[in-house]
Structure 1
Amino acid sequence: MSTESEKEDSDPFHSSESEYQPSSQSSSSECETVEPVEVPEANGTIKKKKRDVKSWKRNMQKVKRAKGETYKSITSGKIVPSRTQGSDCKCEKECIKRLSPDEKNELFSSFNDQEKQDSYLSSLITVSQIKRRRKNNLNINPQRNYTYKYKLRKGAFELPVCKQALCLIHGIGKKRLERIASHLTANVTPVQDKRGKHGDRPNMIPKFLRKQVREHIESFPNKISHYFRARSSKQYLSPDLNLTIMYDLYLKKFEPENYKLKQDELPFKPKICYDFYGRYFRENFNISFGRPRKDTCKKCDMFENKIQGAESEEEKFRNPKKTTCSRV
């Protein structure tokens, strides 16, 4: 008996009933008081590929809008037409007519990125203070203190144009030029795209909850492959586990009220939903359930063939001790 217990202690692939339960080193009260810290990155190759943020509908819409292409609005569902150039600015200098069609198309086609667009437009605007005012308006509060000049780059030369011509050639509105000009007068350079870069994130999962999820996943005992440990860093959990069971254990430990509602099949709104738990598991851990098919020896294969070829249940479990080897 003592030799069998020693083998079980030294065998890395020996399993017991309580082995695959999460350890109780940390409690829910401890996790609630954890300070927000940066969660370390996972080591090794991740099991599943990460989310492709560029393929999201709102991000694809943002890119198409910046490029001036036709897109369907997510909020209203309307089809927004593509950006087009204007024909004539109708000013005395005839700014647009001084450019050839090829030069106008070249400027228009290269205009396809939001932040680069704003930086490019800011370089075409010159801001200067008003040098002289009319005598009749000296005692009146001035409505503006700066004057703006616009230009286009034609090869190595700069071509002065009016505000209307600059808007028509690039297919933009006057308000966008006015916004960029206001940034220049306030010395806010370079102009950055601030869409989606605010601090109001009501649906964002706090860092201490992410750390709590990570610690819960790491609390399950795992094993590495016996024969392929040098080739792969993948870890394996018990075949009796799956993401649903692990998530239920998480709710039972950290959100018992929501766990009770889930068991009673009542609507509930947990802090950590099942989708986030599974996504975090796939993107930050290189873990699978069970063990690799190649991780067996000749003795394991022999017993497995005998079990599969058994004609009755009695013959299959006649001698349980001989149906497994010490590595399973």
Structure 2
Amino acid sequence: MASTSGEGDVQGHNLVVKTGRNPSEWKKNIAKRKRNSGEEYESSVTRKVVKKNEIGAPCRDGCFEKMGMNNIKAIHESFWGLGDFNLQNAFIQKFCVKGVVKRRRVRVRGDAPPRRSCTRSYSFLCGDNVIPVCATAFRSVLSISTKRLHTAVESVTPTGTPRVDRRGKHVPKHAMPASRKNLVEQHVKSFPTVSSHYTRAKSPLMRYLDTDMTLKKMFFLYKEWLFDTNEEEEPVKFSYYKKVVRRYRLGFKPPNTDTCSKCDRYEVSKKDASTEEEAVRIQADWDDHLRFAKEGMKAMKKLQEDDDPNTRYHVIALKNTDFLDVEVLQQEFTHRKPKPPYSFQEARSFELRTTFSDGYFICMDYTGEALGSVRLMKGQARLSRHLFDLSQTQLPQKYPQKRRLQSGKVEHLQQLMRYIPEANQQYLQYIIRKQQELDDEDSSEDEDDDVLQYDSEDETCVDDPQPRQE
């Protein structure tokens, strides 16, 4: 595959990992954040919509009247504004204090265990005052359930410090050791890779392996390498090896546009250069080639960023010998797709602007100024070679008589003949020959030295019907 100037195969130590997972945007984590903030959310398990947490009904002991609704709303909003399960548990543990049972009832069976091992007292901080409340009021203000209250109170260590939430924090039983993972990544990075030639600007971090390499071959080489270097380690499964390879920006097949055989020839010639002067010369030619390709990339970017929905642009590469060859132009165009991606090849490049109502404009550069237009067909029928085959088309004669061309145009046609193959010079030779015949006729018939006047609009040659008055 092609490589750039001064760049060869390199080891995969500079491989870039693809954009990893974003757990914060998972549905279950979004639901978790909303649940911890007291907002309305959709359960990731039951798919049911859980309403927003609101202040519950007041108790019958008058705790709400002692606190006031302003303080109750402030406590409710600050509690759910924490948005963290552990911090909310710490808040509950601070204002729910466990104590010794002060009074017990006499039981019929004296050997029966007591129903309560402790008593709980609840309170809230309203300004500088600590107001005791009942359990019902405590749960209503915070809008929590009895289970949540009991779980938070019991989530403490024997020394009284809060215990963090341990749900989902355990290590999987069949987790793979880090040493085995590192060996797999080390082997994947050991393969030589190259960058793309033409698509480097679009995907600069993408690297490509040898075209003969496959995942199966890589896994087979991994097992051999592991047996030679780390015989005591057990190889991973193919599914895990494939998963590791997919994590990196690696490609097994170069893009279709990355077919620059000229860069390959420059690279080989530079390595085989016998003298330093020859290597410098080859490097200079290589740089010119890359500069030419970079200009083509800029032109294609300009075409792709066109905002006009009524026009489409194409880049077609023609050789010097194919210049003004309509058949070659038809063949090249009909094999192009009318949609991106666009391709750029060596040799002379042309822009072909497609407008079904105006025809096709052929330009020699990227300025957008049309040198000429060719009206191929009307309507918006599908593109095909049959529709664009003009080999049998007979153009009607537009002018009833011969037309004289300006001398400058005739000189331009004669200069253009040097760049056109002899097989395609017949029409232009006919035009030049007819112009010479017109010159011969004028020199033989104009014996009275009458002045000839040229119409600047249609460029027709007319004789002055009236002699000039002295």
In 1, the alpha carbon distance for the partners of 2:129 and 2:217 equals: 69
- Per-residue CA deviation, residues 24-61 of structure 1 (Å, 9 max, x unaligned), is xxxxxxxxxxxxxxxxxx989x5654432211111111
For the 8 Å contact 2:96–2:153, the answer to whether it is kept is yes
Q: Is the 8 A contact 1:84 1:171 kept in 2?
A: yes
Quick check: 1:51 aligned with 2:21? yes
Correspondences of 1:112-191 after superposition (within 5 Å): 112-136=83-107, 139-184=111-156, 186-187=158-159, 189-191=161-163
The equivalent residue for 1:253 is 221
* Aligned pair partner of 2:52 in 70, 73, 82: 82
Q: Taking structure 1 as the reference length, what is the TM-score of the superposition? A: 0.60
Which of 79, 99, 106 in structure 1 is aligned with 2:67?
A: 99
Alignment partners' CA distance in 1, 2:75 and 2:189: 55
Give yes or no for contact 2:98–2:118 (8 Å, CA) kept in 1: yes
Aligned counterparts of 1:236 and 1:71: Cα–Cα separation in 2 = 39
Residues 284-317 of structure 1 show CA distances to partners (whole Å, capped at 9, x for unaligned) of: x9xxx899xxx996421434659x77579xxxxx
User: 1:118-147 CA distances to partner (integer Å, 9 max, x unpaired)?
Assistant: 011000111112244345475432122211
Change (3 A) 1:126 1:185: farther
User: Which of 285, 296, 300 in structure 2 is aligned with 1:299?
Assistant: 285
Note the C-alpha offset of 1:82. Answer: 1.7
Q: How does 1:263-282 map to 2 (within 5 A)?
A: 270-272=238-240, 274-279=242-247, 281=248
For 1:300, the aligned partner's letter is: W
Query: How far apart are the structure 1 equivalents of 2:156 and 2:207?
Result: 58
Kindly report which structure 2 residues correspond to 1:156-235, keeping only aligned pairs within 5 A, or say none.
156-184=128-156, 186-187=158-159, 189-200=161-172, 206-221=177-192
Counterpart contact for 2:36–2:84, Cα < 8 Å: yes
* Superposition deviation, residue 105 in structure 1: 1.8
Amino acid at match of 1:251: F
Report the equivalent of 1:38: none
Deviation, 1:215, is 1.1
| One-letter code aligned to 1:127 | K
Shift of 1:78: 1.5
Which residue does 2:34 correspond to in 1?
Answer: 64
User: 2:8–2:194: 8 Å Cα contact kept in structure 1?
Assistant: no
Give 2:89's aligned amino acid: D
Structure 1's 127 and 107: CA in aligned 2 closer, same or farther, altered over 3 A? Answer: same
Q: Post-superposition, which runs of at least 4 consecutive aligned residues in structure 1 deviate over 6 A?
A: none
> Does the aligned pair in 2 maintain the 1:221–1:237 contact within 8 Å?
no
Note closer, same or farther for the CA distance 1:277–1:129 as it changes in structure 2 (3 Å cut): farther
Query: Which ranges in structure 2 are unaligned for 5 or more consecutive residues?
Result: 196-203, 225-236, 267-282, 294-316, 322-345, 347-470
Coordinate RMSD, CA, aligned: 4.3
**Helix, strand or coil: the match of 1:123?**
helix
The offset of 1:253, in angstroms, is 3.3
| Cα separation, partners in 2 of 1:196 and 1:141, compared to 1, 3 Å | same
Q: Distance in 1 between matches of 2:243 and 2:169?
A: 25
Question: Identity of counterpart residues, as a percentage?
Answer: 23
Give TM-score, length-normalised by structure 2.
0.43
Please, which moves more after superposition, 65-74 or 193-202?
Answer: 193-202
What is the distance in 2 between the residues matched to 1:164 and 1:194? 28
Q: Specify every segment of 5 or more residues in structure 1 that has no aligned partner in the other structure, as ranges.
A: 1-10, 23-41, 225-233, 257-268, 313-322, 324-328
2:192 touches 2:209 (CA, 8 Å); kept in 1? no
Q: Which structure ranks higher in relative contact order (CA pairs < 8 Å, sequence separation ≥ 6)?
A: 1
Equivalents in 2 of 1:251, 1:185: separation in Å? 49
Contact 1:222-1:236 at 8 Å conserved across structures: no
The one-letter code sitting in structure 1 at the alignment partner of 2:76 is: F
User: In structure 2, the residue corresponding to 1:220 is in which secondary structure?
Assistant: coil
